[in-house]
Each structure stands twice: as structure tokens, then as C-alpha cells.
Structure 1
Amino acid sequence: MKMIPVTFPDYLKPDLHAKRNWLLVAFLNLVIVAFLGLLLRWMFVGAIKEINYKFLLHAHSHVALLGWLYTAVFVALLVTFLPQESRNQKTYTWQFWLSQGAVLGMLFSFPVQGYAAVSITFSTAHMLLSYWFIYQFLRDAGKAKINMGEHRLSLKFVKAALFFLAISSLGPWVMGPIMALGHIGSEMYFNAIYFYLHFQYNGWFTFSVLGLLFWLLEYYQVSFNSKLAVLFFRLMFWSCIPAYLLSVLWTKPDANIYLVSGVAAFVQVVALIILLVMLVPLHRQILILFGRWSRRLFILAAVAFLFKTGMQFASAFPYMAELAFRLRLFIIGYLHLVLIGFISIFLFAFFTQQGWLSFKHGISRWGMGLFLLGFISSESMLFVQGLLFWLMAGAIPFYNNFLFGVSILLPVGILLFFLGQLSGSRNNEAKVRDEIRLQRECAEKKCVKV
């Protein structure tokens, strides 16, 4: 049979083995984050006077956002959108390792001093490195003319993600003057934090995930309604900015703020409906792109996205906004739902689908199984306990002990999964997915036997 030559995907090329090692560094950061989280929950069971809970929480959150999620998305965007000659520039190598140095500095400084000179220096350095990455990535994407190729729609989401990454940094920048003026703990102080968090997880990370999702659809030539996709993008982008106001409703602002934030939340629900209308009819074509484990992870991430959007809409109502502020368990559960359930688990699915992560070894399967069990169990306990407090039904007996017990599964599970990836074996899903693409390209070009 004479076949029209087809270039194999970039992720199968030898030059990307180093990038896979970068991904393993990100996973090592996730292991550290999980153990820090376990220590935080232990402090509700057995008090440790030598450790400042608030300082440790700062370390946990910064390493989670900047050590794990930022790094994983950094790698994903490089290997999917940039050609080989661009992503192999020493510029990205410098950006990667300098950012890891900044994360390491935050890991050791935050637990000791909280927000102070050393930790602020490292976090500021990371922000400056992120500006460098934004500039370099957009410059290289422009040179490669990606916005004129098959990935022009997915690149729109990535550009929006990078825009929100830059915008989110305004929160930390204003923290310095706020703290210097003695307003620590004020409404202005917390709203600056919420500004950063909102544009991180609702902007930078969410739009990056959506960009990677549409990249998969484009790469494997899953036909979707492009007009609906553009409408979905516009609704999500323009609603993300005023949706920040949902984070300030705890201050009980004017009615106009409630109105604007409510409209933004409603628009995102409409956007979700458009996404479902567009993709549900294509679910068989989409799910076939994933293997057994990556398919499960992808579905779980999709369910988390549904819950995220629904909970965000509910928070637009004054009563629910006040309830969420009073019951911090709901906020903790929501943040974990978004950052772990939606974003992290999607990244697991994406890298597994691309052949970068493997479930070949039993230790990997057991590890991910324990991690997911720990996540679902801890989320259930957080929301059930919050619901009981809301109903004034009291606390679950030995709640903190049980929560700590199920939380053990998270670091143990992700550690086992990480150890399973160190063998360097590649997932066969990459080969299967490539065969699907080759078959589709061959069908389009009418390959014939000779």
C-alpha cells in the first residue's frame, strides 16, 4: 500500500524526553504539596506548637499553584503549541529551572516567616519569570504563525490564559502597599488575595485547560461547530473579568455589584450549555481519543467542571455568598474541586493521553486509585460537614480525625503514582492515538493500495 507521508506528532520525537523530566519535577512538587496538605489537616488533630498554621498554608498554596500547576501547564503549552526549534531554546530551560528555584525558596521561607522579605522576594521573582514566559511564548507562537494554522482556535484560549496570568499578578503587587499601610486582615487585603486567586484558577488555569482540550479536538480532527466554539470562548472570556466580583460579595457591597456578578455567573452557565451542545453529540469521537485510565480521568474532570460552574452561579445569590463566607469548609472544598478535581485531573488525563504518563505498572494504578479515593472522600466530608453546620445539625463525630485519615490517601497515592512514572516507560496510548490521526488523514487524502 502506498501511503501519503504523514509527520508523526512532535510529542513522539526524542527531543522531548527532557521535557518529560520537567513534568516529573512538577509531579514531585505535587507530592510535596500533598504532604504539606496532610500536615495542615494533622494540625487539627494534634496541635504542633512549633509550626505556624498560617505560614504553612502559604507554603502549601504557593507550591500548589506555582510548583505543580504552573509548571505542568508550562510544559503542556510548550510541547503542544510550539515547534521543535522554538521549544528547545535555552530561554525556556532558563525559565523552567529559575522558576523551580523560586518555588524551592518559597517552600522553605513561607513556613518560617510567612509573608516577609525572603518569601516575597522569591514570589516576586516567579512573577517576573512568568512575564518572561508570556512574552517569549507569544513571540515564538507568532513566528510559527500558529494563529493561521489548525490550532488557531485553541491558541485563542491560550492567549486568554496568558492574559489572565498577567492580570492575576496585580493582586500580589498591591499586597505590598496594603501591608505597608497596616491594612493586613482588612477587606482590601483579602480582596487582593481573591483577585489573584480568581484570575489564576478561573483565568490562567481554566483557559489553559480549555485550550488543551480544543487542541486535542483540532489535532485529531474531531469536527465541531466552530461558530459555537468561538461564541463559547467570547462568553467565557468576557464573563471572567466581572466574575471576580463574586469573590467580594462577602463584604456585602451595593446592589449593583450583586447584579453585575450575577450576570457574569449566568453568562458562564450559558457558555457551559453551549459547550455541552457542541461536544455531547461528539462524545464517542472524543472518548475514543483516550485509553481506559485517561478516559476515566477526563470524565471526572468534566464532572468537576460542571460542579464548579454550578457552584459559582449559586454563589451569586446574596444568601449563598454569605453562607460560603461563614462556612469556610465550602470554600476549601470548592478550591480543591477546581484545582484538583477539574484542573489537575484534566492534566493527568491529557499527559496520559499524550503518552507522557503511564499506567503500565500496578504501582501507578494503585497510586492513582488511592489518590482519587482520597480526593472524593475528603471532598465529600468537607461538603457534608458544611451542610450539617448549615442545618445546625452539629459536627460529624471525630470529624477531624476521619478527615485526616482519608487525607492520608492523597500524598500516599500521588507518591506511588510518581514512583511508577520514574521507570521512564511510555504509555501505549500515544501510539494508538497517533494511529487514529494517521487513519483520518489517510481517509481525507484518499490513500490507495498500489
Structure 2
Amino acid sequence: MTDQEFIPSHPRVPARLTYEQARDLAAEDDPKIRKALAEHPATPPEILYFLAKDTDIDIRRAVACNPNTPRQADLLLTSDESPEVRHDLVNKINRITPDLTEDKRKAVYEVTVQMLELLAVDQVVRVRQILADAIKDLPEVPKSLVHQLATDAELIVAEPVLQFSPVFNDADLADIIHQKPVQGAISAISRRAQLSADLSEAIVDSGDRDAIGHLLENPRAEINEGTMNTILDQAPCVPAWHGPLVSRPKLSSNAAQRLASFVAMNLLDQLQQRNDLDDDTLVALTMAVEKRLADEAKAAREEEKQKTWEEEEAEREAAEEEDEAENGAEDEWSTDDEEFQHVQTLHQVGGLDADAIDEAFDEDRKKFVIAAVAILADLPYGLIGKTFGRPQAREITAICWKAGLSPHFARRVQMQYARIDQKGLVSPKPDGSYSLTEPAMKKILFGLQG
């Protein structure tokens, strides 16, 4: 934009600016006037340098954005306390660089090396990011500056120069790889337009799976046979590499046959459809595919046999556990039990009645209650013990009926011993009698003893 086209942001600042006018305006108290002066393309360099020290941040930002600001003033602003000022400064560098000829661009960076090095270690990530993006493809930038950005702790700063900078040679990049940089940095190197076989080997040796995946996706990356074999040794466990491996240009016969042993069937089809494999390799691939299909079928049969055996073994173990549980339950409800003997004696002397059983129930003497019901119902002690412990409301009701106990007692057993919820209970009729008919309860008891 020329002086004649420029329209100042304040009416006191003329479009055609003389040195004397600029000097007088720089001393104005109104910050809006000084800001308009800082933006003006005709403001003399020494006035811009003076304004770079202004206490008003908006004025310093205007100086930072002005493409005509002298390098000395820009250098001063690299240490400005305001991140916004430093951000504007590096943005200006990024903005004006593409418009410069190669000679002018080189001159700018030769003059401002110190300024760029200060910006490269700026505390604000965005400042370093913009700088890295501005210099990523420049061959004349000092290597120390590019290295500073390439080893930055933030990937968004390191990535542009690692992927694009022509300043680095293979040794430089290999050294960065060996330093274990920030996660994602080696992937940026893997995406460079040209990668030598040595550098590809260094990437693989790093063990960074994401970076190796990007290396395989890079058609211009040179990968020698030894490095490819190292990749193929690990590839069966890394499915993300399989597609890029199958699509690699100049795939050797050995690599193709090794891939056929582990990649998915859809990738096998893709591998067989390549038009750069010789006839012998295609024949070997077909044989490898047939062998793999046969091996997979055999493995499936073995797996089914193993599954059947495991199911049978599980059933056998479950049956044994059930038998053990039954035997244990029988031991628990032995008529030789002291409590059972006590209840039997009580019955013999006429002391076993509903009141005695209710009292034992209230005192949580479960064995007494079960022994009493078994004796009064003339049913096996173990049968009563097992039934009272299961959610069998009808069976519990029938047993209590045969023992001559009340429907309300039967309901208590269902709730407290069998833990049956309200919906599953067999409750008495409104008049207090059993809700099940006598024939129904006799049938239930017959089934229990059968």
C-alpha cells in the first residue's frame, strides 16, 4: 500500500507524513494519535523505535505489526512483557516472508537472527508455533535456531520444522530421534518428502509404532531389506501396519510371502492383485494362502474340540460340586444332631407344641424349628431343612399344614427362612385358613417325597 492510498486511523495524522510531523505527533498525549502514527507506513524508523518503548500496549502492538519497523525495534519487542505484542511480531514475520524475494528474505533473516532466537524460546507456545511455521522451508535459517524449535516440548512447534526444514541432514535427524523427542516428533520425520534408508532404519530402531506406520505410508521413504525384515518380525502384533505394508511400493517376494502368513483375508486379496509381483511370487502367495486356510480350518476344529472338552469338564465339575453340596446338606441335617435329639425328647414328653416352636422361631433357633416341623409332619429332617432354604412357597406351605401348624406360621417360614418376596408368598385366606386345598397339598407332599 502506498502513502497516497493509506488512510490514517486518526484525523490528526496526515496521509502524507513529514519527519517533523511524525516527531511532533509522537509526543502527543492522546494514545490514539500515537497508535495511528505507529501504524503509518511513512513513519520514520527512529520514530517507530521510540514508539516501541511506549507504555501503551496497543501502540507497541501497532509497531510490531508495521512491516516498516526497523529490525532494532523488532528485536526490542521480542522481549516485550505482553504476549500479544510478541504474537503480533512473529505473525508479521510469517506474513511478510512469502512476499520477499529470496535475496531480501535472506537479508531479513541474517539481520534478525538474534530476534528469531529470542522468539524461539518465547514462553507463549503460539509465538513459537508461528515462528516454526514461518521458517520451516527456509534453507538459510541458522541450524541452531531450527534445532531449538525441532526439540521443543510442544509438538505443534516441533512438527513443522521436523517435517519440512531443508536445514537438517540425516545425521541431524537421527540425533533428534535418538534423543527421544516429544511424542509425535518421530512421526513428523517419517512424513518428510525424502527419507534415506539409514534414516528409515533409525525410525524403526526407535520402536515408535505410530512413526513406523507413517514411514510405511510414505511412498518416498527408502526401506532396505534388513529394515523391512525387522518391521515384518513385529508386524503380526501391529494390525495398523498391515494395510500400509501391503500397499508399499517395490515390495520384495520375501516380504510379500511373509505378509501372506498373517494379514487379514481382504488384504491378502489386495496383495494377490498387485501387478508388480512376478509369477513365482504369485504362485508362492497362492500356496501360502491355501496353507493358511488349511491351518485356520484345522485350528478351528481343534478349538471346537477343546471347547467341547471344556464344557464337558465344567459339567462334570458342577455335578461333583452338587453331590458334595448334597452330602454336606445331609450331614447338616443328621438326626444324630444334638438339637434334633432335644426336640425329639420334648415331643415324647408332650412338650412340643406351637408355642414352643414360635418361641424358638423368635429366638432364631432355626434347627429347633426345622427339627420340630420334621417330627410333627413325620417327614425327613434333611428334606425339611433343604426345602425351607429354597424359594418353594407351595412346598413350605404343604409341609407346615401336614405338621399341624398355622398358615401364618407357614408364611413366616417363607419370608424369613426362604427369603421369598411378597409377590411369591402363599398367604392365608382372609379367614386365616390355608389358601391351598387339601388335595393340592397332599399332591405337593407326594411329589416332595417321590
Common fold: TM-score over 0.5: no
Kindly indicate whether structure 1 or structure 2 has the higher relative contact order, using CA contacts under 8 Å at least 6 residues apart: 1
Higher helix fraction (1 or 2): 1
Q: Structure 2-normalised TM-score? A: 0.16
Q: Structure 1-normalised TM-score? A: 0.16
- Structure 1 or 2, whichever has the larger Rg, is 2
